[in-house]
Amino acid sequence: LSGLAGPKSTTAAQLAVRQELRERFSGRPWVDVLSKADLPPEELDPAQRALLPTDAVRVSATTGDGVAELSARLSSVLQQHDPSPFLR
């Protein structure tokens, strides 16, 4: 959502893909992750900001911020759900 990926990867486009995936895989465990947490947030209009997942884990591959939280969240999700129905 940093706006650095080019015109085909706008915030709106990324959120639309997220929504499509959520619909396509409804009922499956889901963890939202916002990367590049070390960068200042892109200026979003209020409508786009309202669509951002409020419980997303914010991570930075550059600084490592949020990686421990992401690991803990993924471990929690895996402990709460039997993954076998989702493995094909």
Query: pLDDT (tens digit, 9 = 90+) per residue, 16-31?
Result: 899 999 999 988 889 9
In this prediction, residue 15 has a pLDDT band, given cuts at 50, 70 and 90, of confident
Please tell me the predicted confidence (pLDDT) of residue 44: 62
Are 40 and 1 in contact by the 8 Å Cβ rule? The answer is no
Asked if residue 73 has pLDDT above 90, the reply is: yes
Please tell me the predicted confidence (pLDDT) of residue 4: 61
Q: How far apart are the first and last CA of the chain?
A: 31
CA pseudo-torsion sign 68, 70, 74, 77:
positive
For the segment 59-88, the average pLDDT, to the nearest whole number, is 87
In this prediction, residue 51 has a pLDDT band, given cuts at 50, 70 and 90, of confident
In this prediction, residue 72 has a pLDDT band, given cuts at 50, 70 and 90, of very high
Please tell me the predicted confidence (pLDDT) of residue 60: 92
Angle formed at CA 19 by CA 28 and CA 59, multiple of 5 degrees? 80
43-61 CB burial, b ≥16 within 10 A, e <16: ebeeebeeeeeeebbbbee
Of the candidates 74, 86, 82, 2, the one whose C-alpha atom is nearest the C-alpha of residue 31 is 74
